């Protein structure tokens, strides 16, 4: 049964970060947050511009702000949707202005290249490009300066160096020095960069639509009953135990219990079932669900961050910020990427400065394939041309987005299917699963057993039901439902895997597993469960409970077999009942009468066979085995989402969620591998081409932008079939 051992409470915090542009920025912020005293886990997600903290103490906003600002970035406060809209509006305005300036400059540059020299063009170029770089691209320059001041580099460092170097060639040309002007290329670099960031931001927002849809389920305000009055108050002003009126058509603002009314409530975002559920007095309701037909008076039980929806959103954001082991290679490369590229760009410029004449024939031949290649005898100009191309082409944006974008999309789809993939490592391990070990009660069965028979007196049954009302085990809840008038019990104690004991008026009761199973064979053979009741160490009776097998269990288990995954039942129930359920659902390997501490040994046994083991349980009794398995999956409910032992939490009913988790994980990991492959391939091919003088800086910037957008679009392809 439920092991009621208290554990130190972890504190969770979700933060919006402003100013990050690449994986190096995110890594710096993450490192700073990890140094805060008491922080156990910190993850920064570039794809969503957010950070997630888990700490052993409450971390103040001032501490977080100081840590983030020490890296040069900022904590954004206020409504995220408003911040996003404001950022979107500013980016759009500067992008439009950049194109208004850059387009005419590009036309004039082309005319100039074909011999149609416009009077004063170089001066116009210097001024126009300066405006584009230092006004339209101001955010990029600020980002590069922040990185420089804090002794690191980022994507904007390369953009700034490339564009400013291009502009300086125009300045030097205006001053009469013998160097070809690449000034307009500087404007093109910034404008294409801004275009790419704008498209990228739009696609990222679109890719995160599922988590936004969840956030939109949160009500903005609630109608509180205060005496004879009904007062509208913001959601963050609600207090526990307040009475709230929910009219038909309104979202239920809190998790609570119905005190008055009868109505149909749409809980499809949890259950996945389109059919509304009838709610009446003493029924629980979950914030975010929709009241459809009649008014309800609800007593608030969980508000704010305690609510089911808030916990669900928090866990999903945590999952989106996690890292897949395969990402470690990309992170280690991007850590040194920018300084290495700048070094290669300088070396390439120096090489061509001293060897241009020796390779003119190579360039002339290459120009037949790449018409944008610069053909000139001016060694200064060509060295700068190669330097700019190499710097611009190498921005590691695609590498930085490869994993987080796939996780954002994958976790969003998982949320829609009623899953929270809390540990991203599970995504990578899912492809190697060989065995799925699953509990019976609440996993294969519905976990909502009911008392079908007992031989206790009415008074004794009432005492037993009162004792069981203090337990959270599914069987205990079924017995507790039989209480007529709750009585006060003392010395309540739960014995994991055995039962529960307590005292009533000096008499000691024990309710738990039968001492001998022989006399209950007829019940067991029907798949029913029996618990015995002992009074002062003397058996006084028994209670028979039936737990219906989930409709989807047989189909889900059959699908596991088709994937060549072996399903195994591991249950604390007796062997006859366990085998009856196993036979009906198609499970061949059964371990019955297993205590919670013994489940971990079974997990280890199957791990010793050389394949990954996935364990499915209720997240409470099975904490040790969930942690010990390669992947731990907990069957969650609206009442209990804090399942810290699990890598994956199934919110909606049924183990079909297990199949979805395997499908989503496999699809997400496949996309991550594709993203990383194309990102590495892009840089592997593009950087040498730029160093050889085969790429024009504007084409290089366009290619860089295209690689990032490709990663985002590819991530959006993650999907699963029902």
What pLDDT, in 10s, does the model give residues 100-146? Answer: 999 998 888 878 766 677 788 889 999 999 999 999 999 889 888 88
Among candidate residues 389, 395, 358, 357, the one with its CA nearest the CA of residue 373: 389
The pLDDT-based confidence of 518 (bands split at 50, 70, 90) is confident
pLDDT tens figures, 525-535: 877 889 999 99
Q: What is the per-residue DSSP string for 686-719?
A: HHHHHHTT-S-HHHHHHHHHHHHHHHHHHHTT--
The two three-digit tokens of residue 370, written as one number: 């790449």
Specify the pTM: 0.64
The pLDDT-based confidence of 4 (bands split at 50, 70, 90) is very low
Rounded mean pLDDT of 686-705? Answer: 81
Measured CA to CA, the distance from residue 583 to residue 520 in angstroms comes to: 19
Among candidate residues 84, 85, 62, the one with its CA nearest the CA of residue 75: 62
Rounded mean pLDDT of 148-173? Answer: 85
On whether the CB atoms of residues 652 and 410 are closer than 8 A, the answer is no
Among candidate residues 623, 624, 622, 619, the one with its CA nearest the CA of residue 636: 619
On whether the CB atoms of residues 448 and 481 are closer than 8 A, the answer is no
Question: Does the pLDDT of residue 271 top 60, yes or no?
Answer: no
Residue 663, pLDDT score: 86
Using the structure block, give the residue that is written with the tokens 């067991």.
Answer: 524
Assigned CATH for 450-546 = 3.40.1110.10
Q: Which residues of 537-558 are buried (b: 16+ CB within 10 A; e: fewer)?
A: eeeebbbbbbbebbebbeebbe
Residue 5, pLDDT score: 41
Distances (CA, A) of 566 to 505, 581, 599, 654, 660: 50, 16, 17, 18, 17
Task: Tally the C-alpha atoms within 13 A of residue 176's C-alpha that lie toward its C-beta.
Answer: 0
The length of the chain in residues reads 722
Share of the chain above pLDDT 70, in %: 86
Among candidate residues 245, 222, 242, the one with its CA nearest the CA of residue 232: 222
Residue 126, pLDDT score: 93
Residue 3, pLDDT score: 38
On whether the CB atoms of residues 508 and 500 are closer than 8 A, the answer is no
Chain centroid to CA 455: how far?
50
- Choose the weakest-confidence range: 14-23, 185-194, 461-470: 14-23
pLDDT tens figures, 408-423: 788 778 877 778 777 7
Most confident listed range (295-309, 393-407, 450-464): 450-464
Measured CA to CA, the distance from residue 626 to residue 426 in angstroms comes to: 12
Tally Cβ neighbours within 10 Å of residue 114: 8
Locate all alpha helices (DSSP H) within 469-622, ordered by sequence.
474-480, 521-524, 553-562, 575-585, 596-607
Residue 642, pLDDT score: 39
Vertex 174: Cα angle to 169 and 180 (nearest 5): 40
Residue 641, pLDDT score: 46
**The CATH number of domain 424-445+549-646, selected from 3.40.190.10, 3.40.50.1000, 3.50.7.10, 3.30.460.10:** 3.40.50.1000
Tally Cβ neighbours within 10 Å of residue 506: 7
Local structure of residue 446 (DSSP, 8 states): -
CATH class belonging to 239-302: mainly beta
pLDDT tens figures, 290-320: 888 888 999 988 887 777 777 777 666 666 5
Residue 1, pLDDT score: 35
Residue 600, pLDDT score: 86
Rounded mean pLDDT of 22-36? Answer: 84
- The residue ranges of every structural domain in the chain are 239-302, 424-445+549-646, 450-546
Question: Does the pLDDT of residue 508 top 90, yes or no?
Answer: yes
Measured CA to CA, the distance from residue 496 to residue 405 in angstroms comes to: 42
Residue 319, pLDDT score: 60
3-state secondary structure of 697: helix
Rounded mean pLDDT of 373-398? Answer: 82
Measured CA to CA, the distance from residue 409 to residue 422 in angstroms comes to: 14
| Catalytic residue of the set 156, 255, 439, 618 | 439
Longest dimension (CA), the chain: 109
- The bridge status of strand 612-617 relative to strand 631-635 is parallel
Bridge partners, 225 (sequence order) = 230
Among candidate residues 129, 283, 309, the one with its CA nearest the CA of residue 214: 309
Task: Tally the C-alpha atoms within 13 A of residue 98's C-alpha that lie toward its C-beta.
Answer: 27
Residue 566 backbone dihedrals phi, psi, to 5 degrees: -90, 120
Q: Please, is 117 exposed, middle or buried when counting C-beta atoms within 10 Å of its C-beta (0-12, 13-18, 19+)? A: exposed
Dihedral sign, Cα of residue 16, residue 17, residue 19, residue 21: negative
On whether the CB atoms of residues 154 and 147 are closer than 8 A, the answer is yes
On whether the CB atoms of residues 193 and 701 are closer than 8 A, the answer is yes
Residue 109, pLDDT score: 80
pLDDT tens figures, 65-113: 999 988 888 888 766 566 666 777 788 888 999 999 999 988 888 787 6
Q: What is the dihedral of CA 582, 587, 590, 595, to 10 degrees?
A: -70
On whether the CB atoms of residues 299 and 278 are closer than 8 A, the answer is no
> Is 14 one of the catalytic residues?
no
Tally Cβ neighbours within 10 Å of residue 231: 12
Pick the residue with more confidence: 690 or 596? 690
Question: Does the pLDDT of residue 381 top 60, yes or no?
Answer: yes
The two three-digit tokens of residue 110, written as one number: 């082309």
Among candidate residues 285, 210, 211, 283, the one with its CA nearest the CA of residue 246: 285
Measured CA to CA, the distance from residue 343 to residue 345 in angstroms comes to: 5
pLDDT tens figures, 431-440: 789 999 988 8
Residue 638, pLDDT score: 39
Local structure of residue 444 (DSSP, 8 states): I
On whether the CB atoms of residues 54 and 40 are closer than 8 A, the answer is yes
On whether the CB atoms of residues 593 and 542 are closer than 8 A, the answer is no
Residue 351, pLDDT score: 95
3-state secondary structure of 646: coil
Residue 196, pLDDT score: 73
3-state secondary structure of 490: strand
Helix (H) or strand (E) holding 162: helix 155-174
Share of the chain above pLDDT 90, in %: 17
On whether the CB atoms of residues 20 and 197 are closer than 8 A, the answer is no
């Amino acid at each position: 049964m439920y092991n009621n051992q208290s554990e130190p409470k972890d504190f969770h915090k979700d933060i919006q970060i402003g100013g990050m542009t690449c994986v190096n920025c995110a890594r710096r912020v993450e490192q700073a947050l990890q140094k805060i005293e008491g922080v156990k886990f910190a993850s920064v997600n570039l794809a969503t511009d957010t950070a997630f903290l888990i700490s052993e103490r409450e971390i103040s906003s001032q501490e977080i702000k100081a840590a983030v600002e020490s890296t040069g970035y900022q904590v954004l406060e206020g409504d995220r949707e408003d911040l996003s809209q404001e950022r979107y509006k500013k980016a759009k305005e500067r992008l439009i202005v950049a194109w208004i300036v850059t387009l005419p400059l590009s036309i004039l540059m082309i005319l100039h290249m074909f011999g149609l020299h416009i009077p004063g063009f170089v001066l116009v170029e210097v001024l126009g490009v300066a405006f584009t770089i230092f006004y339209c691209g101001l955010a990029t320059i600020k980002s590069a300066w922040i990185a420089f001041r804090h002794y690191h580099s980022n994507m904007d460092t390369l953009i700034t160096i490339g564009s400013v170097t291009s502009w300086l060639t125009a300045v030097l040309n205006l001053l009469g020095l013998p160097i070809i002007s690449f000034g307009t290329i500087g404007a093109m670099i910034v404008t294409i960069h801004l275009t790419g960031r704008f498209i990228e931001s739009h696609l990222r927002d679109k890719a995160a639509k599922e988590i936004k849809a969840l956030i939109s389920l949160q009500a903005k305000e609630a109608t509180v009953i205060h005496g004879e009055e009904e007062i509208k108050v913001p959601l963050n002003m609600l207090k526990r135990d307040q009475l709230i009126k929910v009219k038909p058509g309104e979202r239920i603002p809190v998790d609570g219990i119905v005190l008055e009314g009868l109505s149909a409530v749409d809980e499809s975002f949890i259950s996945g079932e389109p059919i509304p559920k009838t709610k009446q007095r003493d029924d629980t309701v979950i914030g975010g669900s929709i009241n459809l037909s009649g008014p309800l008076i609800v007593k608030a039980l969980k508000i704010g961050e305690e609510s089911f929806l808030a916990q669900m959103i928090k866990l999903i954001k945590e999952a989106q910020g996690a890292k897949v082991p395969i990402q470690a290679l990309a992170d280690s490369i991007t850590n040194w990427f920018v300084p290495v590229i700048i070094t290669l760009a300088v070396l390439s410029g120096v090489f061509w400065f001293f060897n241009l004449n020796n390779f003119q024939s190579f360039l002339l031949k290459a120009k037949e394939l790449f018409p944008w290649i610069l053909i000139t005898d001016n060694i200064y100009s060509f060295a700068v041309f190669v330097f700019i191309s190499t710097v611009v082409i190498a921005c590691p944006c695609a590498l930085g987005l490869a994993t987080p974008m796939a996780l954002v999309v994958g976790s969003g789809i998982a949320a829609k299917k009623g899953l929270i993939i809390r540990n991203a490592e599970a995504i990578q391990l899912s492809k190697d699963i060989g065995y799925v070990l699953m509990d019976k009660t609440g996993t294969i069965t519905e976990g909502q057993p009911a008392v079908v028979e007992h031989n206790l007196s009415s008074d004794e049954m009432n005492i037993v039901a009162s004792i069981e009302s203090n337990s959270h085990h599914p069987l205990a809840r079924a017995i507790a439902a039989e209480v007529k008038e709750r009585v006060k019990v003392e010395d309540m104690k739960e014995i994991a895997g055995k039962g529960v004991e307590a005292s009533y008026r000096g008499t000691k009761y024990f309710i738990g597993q039968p001492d001998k199973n022989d006399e209950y064979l007829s019940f067991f053979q029907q798949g029913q469960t029996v618990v015995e009741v002992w009074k002062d160490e003397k058996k006084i009776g028994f209670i028979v409970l039936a737990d219906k097998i989930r409709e989807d269990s047989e189909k889900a288990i059959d699908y596991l077999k088709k994937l060549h995954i072996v399903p195994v039942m591991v249950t604390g129930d007796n062997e006859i009942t366990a085998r009856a359920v196993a036979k009906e659902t198609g499970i061949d390997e059964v371990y019955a009468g297993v205590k919670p501490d013994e489940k971990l040994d079974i997990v280890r046994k199957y791990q010793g066979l050389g394949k990954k083991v996935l364990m499915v349980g209720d997240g409470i009794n099975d904490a040790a085995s969930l942690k010990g398995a390669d992947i731990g999956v907990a069957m969650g409910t609206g009442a209990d989402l804090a399942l810290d032992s699990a890598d994956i939490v199934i919110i909606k009913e049924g183990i079909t969620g297990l199949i979805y988790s395997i499908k989503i994980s496999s699809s997400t990991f496949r996309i991550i591998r594709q993203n990383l492959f194309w990102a590495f391939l892009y840089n592997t091919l593009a950087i040498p081409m730029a160093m050889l003088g085969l790429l024009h800086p504007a084409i290089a910037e366009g290619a860089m932008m295209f690689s990032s957008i490709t990663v985002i679009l590819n991530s959006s392809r993650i999907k699963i079939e029902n």
